A = this chain, B = another copy of it.
Amino acid sequence: MSHNTFPHADHDPRAVRLAARDGTLVGPTAGLAKGFVQVNLVILPEAQANGFLRFCQSNPKPCPLLAVSEPGERGCAALADDLDIARDVPAYCLYRDGRLDQTVHDVSDVWRDDLVTFALGCSFTFEHALIQDGLPVRHIDEGRNVPMYRTSVPLVPAGGFAGHLVVSMRPYRASDAIRAIQITTRFPQTHGAPVHLGDPALIGITDLHSPDYGDAVSMGDDELPVFWACGVTPQQVLMDAGIAFAITHSPGHMLITDIPDSRVALL
């Protein structure tokens, strides 16, 4: 069954996870189990995990930690009941020696007793809140992936990891940008308020029309580019560190938790 016809928008989170687990769902999770938090996953051997935990705590905007598993555990009560981390994501990326090696739908065959799972908040949560408030989200309206850019903004080095911030961009008229700042401020665990707006050159972006990840979107003359810290940052950091073995979700193919969106809102 194609993911495009997979009718889980109104399903509960567990139904979506079970569909990923049994191979029915292999596509992106945008719009599925609406109202529940979807998370970025980073899965690392314990030897690197302790350093990565310190790195996340030093860089909370790109790496907002929602939960960390015990080594080897494929469940995580803080995220969901009846969870199998190794099978409940529709697609995973396997990294070996600092490079993306494979994209697979199940990582139970490569699972190890020392693997630690990091669940990081994802912009889907605040995009849902923006749309609920009547604000447009350009890349969704244009049926594209969000444009993402490497920047010159240094991350705080910690635990053996370092690098530069990756940001996502959504264009807004000024009054909508102000409202978007207010709304996303309520969601510090899903990247929170923007990190920059206006002149892209000030954060080392030379051409908005050529994103480093995702797709370019159109922008009006009366719009400002608004930049949020992006969950692709840790993936880039892991590759830059030449990590021997890591697993992440495949971009857009998130783990759906049992956490209602409102539980990660400040108010």
Contact with B along A172-187 (1 / 0, CB 8 A): 0011011001100100
Contact residues in B for A177 (Cβ distance below 8 Å)? 197
Say yes or no: B194 contacts A222, CB within 8 Å. Answer: no
Chain B residues within 8 Å of A178, by CB: 181, 193-197
The digit string for A186-201, where 1 denotes a CB below 8 A from any CB of B, is 0000000111111100
Specify the main secondary structure of chain A where it touches its partner: mixed
Chain A, 251-267, contact with B by CB distance < 8 Å: what is the 0/1 string?
A: 00000000000000001
Considering the complex, which residues of chain A in the window 198-249 have a beta carbon less than 8 Å from any beta carbon of chain B? 198-199, 202, 222, 224
| A185 proximity list for chain B (CB < 8 A) | 182, 185
Given the complex of chains A and B, what is the CA–CA distance between A197 and B226 in angstroms? 12
**Most central of A178, A198, A222 by chain B CB within 10 Å:** A178
> Which B residues lie within 8 Å of A267 (CB)?
267
> In the complex, are the beta carbons of A196 and B181 less than 8 A apart?
no
Q: Which of A181, A202, A224 has the largest number of chain B CB atoms within 10 A?
A: A181
Is the CB–CB distance between B193 and A174 below 8 Å?
no
Bound form: Cα–Cα A178–B228 in Å: 11
Q: Give, as a whole number of angstroms, the nearest-CB distance from A129 to chain B.
A: 15
